[in-house]
Structure 1
Amino acid sequence: MNYTNPMLKTLTTKPKTIFLIDGLGAMLTAILLAFVLTNFEVYFGMPVNVLHCLAAVACVFMLYSLACYVLLKSRWRSFLNIIMVANLLYCGLTIALVWYYYSRLTPLGMAYFLLECLVIISLVWLEKRVYQGL
């Protein structure tokens, strides 16, 4: 396959790298949710207990993706499919929570969660390209 995008070319030749990217992204999400947003709840509006639950989910995704990156030698596609679906379900959950807590969320909170979903959906698009590219 001839990709003009160097990142796609690298990921299709080393597909396990997408698990590292996913895992590090999940780690960043967990840190932001558990430590930043919770300490500045007044500026975001999402309840702390909800932020902790979302952070816990992100930690599970992080462990899964990093374990896949380290342990998988072959047959990675089914594992990548699992994290793609999980990421989309996480976005669905986030959107549902934004809708449920809409009256509490600040504009900064809305922006954070919508941007987070946009980044995750972009990651899923990239993961799908890697999945199909080999």
Structure 2
Amino acid sequence: MLTKITSNPKLVFLLDCLGALLSAFLLGVALPSFQPIFGMPNEILYGLAALACLFAIYSFWNYRWFKENWRPYLRGIAIVNLLYCCLTAALVIYFRQELTKWGFLYFLQEMVVIMVVVGLEFKIITRKN
């Protein structure tokens, strides 16, 4: 499956879109419902969910209306994903007193998953073909 995704950049946009939608749901619906278990303030969760929605729209747009010159668009979402991880890390540090171990673990795993996707995106961008 990974070979199929990496051989078709259009599918990478779809993967990114689906991941962003999952993050938006978790950050905007699931985590706020259990805020005391995770500790991150709801306003921050909603802001992160809004960003994930924007990323999903961008990725879906590129998936649906795929252009021949896809590298700049994939580079754009990879960079934005990387910046999102930096923002998340900064928020985890800033709210470290409020975060529970479950909140810390959630945001750590989210950053790890996003960084794996970013690595895949940059690998595809730099591939010769």
Give your verdict on TM over 0.5.
yes
Residue identity in the other structure for 2:10: K
Alignment of 1:28-39 (within 5 A): 28-39=22-33
1:22 matched to 2:22? The reply is no
Alignment of 1:126 onto 2:120: yes
SS in 1 for 2:9: coil
Identify which of 38, 44, 53 aligns with 2:47: 53
CA contact (8 A) 1:11 1:130 kept: no
Contact between 2:10 and 2:63, CA under 8 Å: does it hold in 1? yes
Secondary structure (helix, strand or coil) at the match of 2:96 reads coil
TM-score, normalising length from structure 2? 0.96
Is 1:115 aligned to residue 106 of structure 2? no
1:72 aligns with 2:66: yes
Paired residue for 2:37? 43
5+ residue gaps, structure 1, are: 1-5
Distance in structure 2 (CA, Å) of the matches to 1:48 and 1:10? 38
C-alpha RMSD of matched pairs (Å): 0.9
Q: Percent identity?
A: 45
Q: Which amino acid aligns with 1:94?
A: T
| CA displacement 1:54-76 (0-9 Å, x = unmatched) | 00000000000010000013100
- Which has the larger displacement, 102-111 or 10-19? 10-19
In structure 2, runs of 5+ residues without a counterpart are none
Structure 1: 4+ residue segments shifted above 3 A: none
The TM-score with structure 1 as length reference comes to: 0.92
TM superposition shift of 1:44: 0.1
What letter matches 1:132 in structure 2? T
Task: State the Cα distance separating 1:128 from its structure 2 match.
Answer: 1.1
Count of residue pairs the alignment pairs up: 128
